Amino acid sequence: MHPPLLPRLLPPALLTAPRGQRPAGESRRQGPCGTRRDAPGHRTGPGGGTRSRRDATAPLIQLPRHRREASAVLAEVFPQQMEGVKLIVTKTLSSHFQVTHTVHMSTLGPSSYHFNATFVGDRQLGPTEAFPTLIGDMDNSGSLNAQVLHLVAERIRTKAVFQTHQTKFVTWQFDGEYRGDDCTATLTLGNPDLLGESVILVAHFLQSITSRLVLGGEMVYHRRPGEEGAILTLAGKYTALKWVATLNVGYGGAHASYYHRANEQVQVGVELEANTRLQDTTFAFGYQLNLPQANMVFRGLLDSNWSVGGVLEKKLPPLPVTLALGAFLNHWKNRFHCGFSVIVG
């Protein structure tokens, strides 16, 4: 029997940025129910059409550490929109290697099959950090998502992300992150094209002012033939014993979030987003109820688009099986979607 892998390897579909991060230029997600919580890529934008927040085929520009962590915490509280039937089978082949098969029978679009392979190296810095890490995900149409994370030096980390849509490259992204004692600096190159003279450059810096307060800024610069521009965003995060509050303010709008851990069973997340370019604002309230005694986790969502939804996850011991049931209703657009998933392993 192989020793278990890291307890929180990246799940197959988590190749996009965590919840709440929108890809540059995208508005918040518009799921089938009009819910804004499934944005692909940068939590930004719970995305359009039938894409879920963690759609592996969505474009990806990930944000540096602190914002990603804050968004990841909220991402765990809010439910993922579910539709159709999904079967996920995970097999750990060794202490370093894991494969996952995902079959999705969709009611809104074409069904799909995903094969995911994850390799984790020997250098482990924490319970969820090990280097190098290689993740690959391919679907039945030949579209590929690949990530490589490597620790170049003690304080320098690099990451490369590639996404293809069948035979065409959609995203190629390179990150370099420096972690100081009380600061983090990250530089991201998105889709650099020397011949086409286009690039997306993201520079991010966070400084710990006190043990609880982190302030920083982010600059996004994009260039294409005949066009270039930059957006500056200021970010702040305050961490208390039981809650975390973040605020990002920039030219394109503002984003505020509040995460509260009431106790071991109840977690609540509140989010507000205002986009001045799209002249749109959204609010979302989500909560997570965790009952380990009942092997159950429930996540609920309510947002300003008149959408309500919930996902119930129930483990079925002694089998290594988890059953997830989800339903989302958009009162304004009069749309309802439900689905269930079976996760084995």
Partner 1 sequence: MPSWVSYQFQPAPAICLSSLGVFSVAAAGGPGAAPQGLRGWLRRAYRFATDRNDFRRNLLVNLGLFAAGVWVARNLTDIDLMAPQPVP
Close Cβ partners of 61 (under 8 Å, ≥ 6 residues apart): 17, 21, 23, 24, 41, 42, 173, 188, 190, 200, 202
Which range, of 164-172, 203-211, 257-265, 309-317, touches partner 1 by CB under 8 A?
257-265
Kindly state whether residue 262 participates in binding partner 1, applying the rule CB under 8 A.
yes
Cβ of residue 237: shortest distance to partner 1, in angstroms?
15
Which range, of 92-100, 125-133, 134-142, 269-277, touches partner 1 by CB under 8 A?
269-277
Contact pattern from residue 274 through residue 303 relative to partner 1, giving x for each residue in contact according to CB under 8 A and a dash for the rest? x-x--xxxxx-x-x-x-x-x----------
Kindly state whether residue 203 participates in binding partner 1, applying the rule CB under 8 A.
no
Kindly state whether residue 328 participates in binding partner 1, applying the rule CB under 8 A.
no
Contact pattern from residue 226 through residue 255 relative to partner 1, giving x for each residue in contact according to CB under 8 A and a dash for the rest? -----------------x------------
Q: Which is nearer to partner 1, 119 or 238 (CB)?
A: 238
Out of 7, 8, 241, 263, name the contact with partner 1 by CB under 8 A. Answer: 263
Interacting residue ranges for partner 1, rule: CB under 8 A: 243, 256, 258, 260, 262-263, 265-266, 268-272, 274, 276, 279-283, 285, 287, 289, 291, 293, 304
